[in-house]
Amino acid sequence: MNGRNKMRIFANVAVALALASLVAACGSSTTDRTLSGAGIGAAGGAAVGAVTGGNPLTGALLGGAAGAAVGGLTDEDDFNLGDPVWD
């Protein structure tokens, strides 16, 4: 793997983590926050992967994992985007 590919992967991961932390999750329970964080992170990661020329599937996996982690590890007082659609 050359230096350009390594930088692209690093940039994809950094942007996916930033997006996941900005729009971490909604809901009041840990489960709601984890699920919505994973969904938001996966969508953002796939978009970043597609826009930057990377693999959208890899971006979705990384973004989904980051979003789930941020959603599950924060509480309602940290990030609150309202009730999830399924409530």
Query: How far is residue 56's CA from residue 44's CA, in Å, rounded to a whole number?
Result: 10
pTM of the model as a whole = 0.61
First to last CA, the chain: 45
Instruction: In whole angstroms, give the CA distance from residue 36 to residue 53.
Output: 26
- The mean pLDDT value for 55-72 works out to 88
- Output 16 or 61, whichever has higher pLDDT: 61
Q: If you average pLDDT over each of 8-12, 33-37, 50-54, which comes out highest?
A: 33-37
Mean pLDDT of 53-68: 88
Query: Residues 70, 71, 74, 77: what is their CA dihedral angle, to the nearest 10 degrees?
Result: 130
Q: How far apart are CA 42 and CA 20, in angstroms?
A: 9
